[in-house]
């Protein structure tokens, strides 16, 4: 999961930059017409989907090894594994 963690950190960093720009722009319409939003949001969305799929695969593999984890929700299982 280290590769996914790096991907998520990069996505998070880009999201924070977008939010800082949005905070600086006080008007909603100007903020939404920002080219940075239009170019980065689709990339961020696809990157988050990839991270989510990797996480789901990891949890499924863990459940296949330890069958008692089939009765535990994903958030609780993440807490247990961390």
pLDDT tens profile 14-59: 889 888 888 887 788 877 777 777 788 888 999 999 999 998 898 8
Residues 6+ apart with CB under 8 A from 63: 69, 70, 77
Burial class of residue 64 (count of CB atoms within 10 Å of its CB; 0-12, 13-18, 19+)? exposed
Tell me the helices (H) and strands (E) count for the chain, helix number first: 4, 0
Q: How confident is the model at residue 2 (pLDDT cuts 50, 70, 90)?
A: confident
Give residue limits of the domains in the chain: 2-81
């Amino acid at each position: 999961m280290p590769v996914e963690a790096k991907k998520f950190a990069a996505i998070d960093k880009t999201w924070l930059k977008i939010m800082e720009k949005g905070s600086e722009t006080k008007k909603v319409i100007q903020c939404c017409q920002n080219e940075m939003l239009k170019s980065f949001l689709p990339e961020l969305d696809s990157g988050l989907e990839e991270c989510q799929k990797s996480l789901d695969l990891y949890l499924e593999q863990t459940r296949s090894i330890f069958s008692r984890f089939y009765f535990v929700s994903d958030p609780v299982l993440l807490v247990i594994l961390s």
